């Protein structure tokens, strides 16, 4: 069974860069069997797809954030990461990493980590 | 972007009730429609993919149907553990988009 765990600072300042890491066990991020993604959820609101990475290299981003988002993989650590630049209060959310065998589907999820953007 | 609209946004029901949640896509998405359940403070859990395929381990009281633009999630007999928020999601095209959610509350 694939397990995922998000880590990173819980607080980011406006205009700075939010950086999160997802550590994976039970599956390899370099495998072409899995798609790995980030989804966020502002407090009390719905789910928003941020972006995904496949086979450690191919990336897909939500156009609403595309200019600010980078998702990358570190095969040596079996981790993938999210960087979101120029954050504002609107980026305050619980950020989840998730994965599945099928594009766009999210079958396995991390527990989520709350990132608050505030000065 | 494909917009996903769920209705109702919330509903009150009792244990044993039959519950139906609707999801409508802004354009045809064939059966590229998934349903998730989310309990308070927890990550979403995939219930149904491809509109009607029940994930392993999901109780058979959950079922999904539909194709094109209109989809439904049905809980045939609501159980105490089913009180949660439900989201639909389309995987027909990028960006992946979710419905706004339907909160199922105790009546």
pLDDT tens across A66-84, in order? Answer: 899 999 999 999 999 999 9
Measured CB to CB, residues of chain A less than 8 Å from chain B are 46-49, 60, 62-64, 96, 98, 100, 102-107, 109-112
With contact defined as beta carbons under 8 Å apart, do A106 and A37 qualify?
yes
With contact defined as beta carbons under 8 Å apart, do B33 and B25 qualify?
yes
pLDDT tens-digit readout, B61-89: 999 999 999 999 999 999 999 999 999 99
Whole-number pLDDT of residue B35 = 98
With contact defined as beta carbons under 8 Å apart, do B95 and A62 qualify?
yes
Reported as a pLDDT band with limits 50, 70 and 90, residue A32 is confident
B43 Cβ neighbours under 8 A, 6+ residues apart: A96, A98, A109, A110, A111, A112
Tell me whether residues B87 and A46 touch, CB distance under 8 A: yes
CA distance A72 to A28: 14
User: What's the whole-number mean pLDDT along residues A90-111?
Assistant: 95
Whole-number pLDDT of residue A93 = 98
Q: Which candidate from A49, A107, A110 shows the least CB-CB separation from B96? A: A49
Reported as a pLDDT band with limits 50, 70 and 90, residue A56 is confident
Reported as a pLDDT band with limits 50, 70 and 90, residue B11 is very high
Whole-number pLDDT of residue A37 = 96
User: What's the whole-number mean pLDDT along residues B2-16?
Assistant: 98
The residue assigned the tokens 């607080």 is A11
Token pair listed for A31? 């495998």
Token pair listed for A34? 């899995």
The residue assigned the tokens 């991390």 is A110
For residue B2, give the nearest of A103, A49, A35, A108 by alpha carbon.
A49
User: What's the whole-number mean pLDDT along residues A43-62?
Assistant: 93
Whole-number pLDDT of residue B31 = 98
Q: Judged by CB atoms within 8 Å, which residues 5-34 of B form the interface with A? A: 32, 34
Please give the span between the terminal C-alpha atoms of chain B, in angstroms, as a whole number: 36
Residue B25 has pLDDT above 90, yes or no: yes
B46 vs A contacts (CB less than 8 Å): 100, 105-107
Reported as a pLDDT band with limits 50, 70 and 90, residue A114 is very high
With contact defined as beta carbons under 8 Å apart, do B71 and B24 qualify?
yes
Token pair listed for B25? 């896509």
Q: Which candidate from B45, B49, B98 shows the least CB-CB separation from A47? A: B98
With contact defined as beta carbons under 8 Å apart, do B83 and B102 qualify?
no
User: What's the whole-number mean pLDDT along residues A24-42?
Assistant: 92
């Amino acid at each position: 069974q694939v397990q995922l765990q998000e880590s990173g600072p819980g607080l980011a300042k406006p205009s700075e860069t939010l950086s999160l890491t997802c550590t994976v066990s039970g599956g390899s991020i370099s495998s072409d069997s899995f798609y790995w993604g980030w989804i966020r959820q502002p407090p009390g609101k719905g789910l928003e797809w941020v972006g995904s990475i496949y086979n450690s290299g191919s990336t897909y981003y939500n156009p609403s954030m595309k200019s600010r988002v980078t998702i990358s993989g570190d095969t040596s650590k079996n981790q993938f990461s999210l960087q979101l630049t120029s954050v504002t209060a609107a980026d305050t959310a619980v950020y989840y990493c998730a994965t599945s065998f099928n594009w766009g589907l999210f079958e396995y999820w991390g527990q989520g980590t709350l990132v608050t953007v505030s000065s | 972007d494909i917009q996903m609209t769920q209705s109702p946004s919330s509903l009150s029901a009792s244990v044993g009730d039959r519950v139906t949640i609707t999801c409508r896509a802004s354009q045809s998405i064939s059966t590229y429609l998934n349903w998730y359940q989310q309990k308070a403070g927890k990550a979403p859990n995939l219930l149904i993919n491809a509109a009607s395929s029940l994930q392993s381990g999901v109780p058979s009281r959950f079922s999904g149907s539909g194709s094109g633009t209109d989809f439904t999630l049905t809980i045939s007999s609501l159980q105490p553990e089913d009180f949660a928020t439900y989201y639909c999601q389309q995987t027909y095209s990028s960006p992946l988009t979710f419905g706004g959610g339907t909160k199922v509350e105790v009546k």
